[in-house]
C-alpha cells in the first residue's frame, strides 16, 4: 500500500491493486489541504480564487468517500503526541495522525516531498513522481 503526499498539504492514501491504485482520502489530509489553500491564496493575493478552489476540491473529494481519521483522534491522541514528541516536533500533529493512520491501514510507503516522514520506522518515503510511478509500474 502507498500513501501519496503530493503537493504541500495534499496527501492521498492510495491502496495498490493489480489493476490500478484506488485512492483513499483522509479527512485530516483534506482539512490540512483547505488550510494550506487558504493561506497560499492570502499570501499570493488570490483570495478571489479561493471559493473556486474549495468548490473544485469538494466536487473531487465528496465527504462520503473520506476515511475519517478524526474519529480515531481521541483514541490515538496519546500516540500522536508521543510521535510528535519523539520527532522533537518535526512531525506536526496532522502528519503524526496520518502516519499512525497509515500504520492502522497497513500502508507501508508514503510518496512525499516532506522528509519528516523519514523518521517514521513503519513508513518508507519516496520523494519523486518517478519513484511513485516505479512503485505502481
The predicted structure's pLDDT at residue 137: 63
| Alpha carbon distances (Å) from 11 to 24, 28, 29, 35, 78 | 10, 9, 6, 13, 23
Contact 64, 49 (CB under 8 A): no
What's this model's pTM, rounded to 2 decimal places? Answer: 0.69
Q: What is the pLDDT of residues 62-108, one digit of tens each?
A: 888 888 888 889 999 999 999 999 989 988 898 899 899 889 888 88
Type and span of the H or E element at 41? helix 27-43
Checking if the pLDDT of 3 tops 60, the result is no
Domain of 118, in residue numbers: 2-136
Selected residue with higher pLDDT from 1 and 47: 47
Residue 1, SS3 per DSSP: coil
Q: How much is the average pLDDT of 123-135?
A: 79
The predicted structure's pLDDT at residue 76: 93
Confidence of residue 121 (pLDDT cuts 50, 70, 90): very high
Checking if the pLDDT of 56 tops 70, the result is yes
Query: How many domains is the chain partitioned into structurally?
Result: 1
Checking if the pLDDT of 2 tops 60, the result is no
Q: What's the rounded Cα separation, in Å, for the pair 50 and 5?
A: 21
Amino acid at each position: 500500500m502507498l500513501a501519496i503526499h503530493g503537493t504541500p498539504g495534499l496527501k492521498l492514501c492510495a491502496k495498490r491493486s493489480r489493476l490500478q491504485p484506488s485512492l483513499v482520502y483522509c479527512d485530516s489530509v483534506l482539512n490540512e489541504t483547505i488550510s494550506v489553500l487558504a493561506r497560499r491564496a492570502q499570501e499570493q493575493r488570490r483570495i478571489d480564487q479561493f471559493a473556486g478552489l474549495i468548490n473544485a476540491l469538494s466536487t473531487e473529494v465528496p465527504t462520503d468517500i473520506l476515511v475519517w481519521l478524526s474519529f480515531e483522534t481521541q483514541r490515538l491522541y496519546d500516540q500522536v503526541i508521543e510521535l510528535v514528541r519523539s520527532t522533537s516536533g518535526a512531525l506536526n500533529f496532522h502528519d503524526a495522525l496520518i502516519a499512525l493512520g497509515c500504520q492502522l491501514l497497513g500502508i507501508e510507503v508514503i510518496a512525499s516531498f516532506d522528509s519528516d516522514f523519514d523518521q517514521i520506522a513503519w513508513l518508507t518515503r519516496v520523494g519523486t513522481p518517478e519513484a511513485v510511478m516505479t512503485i505502481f509500474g
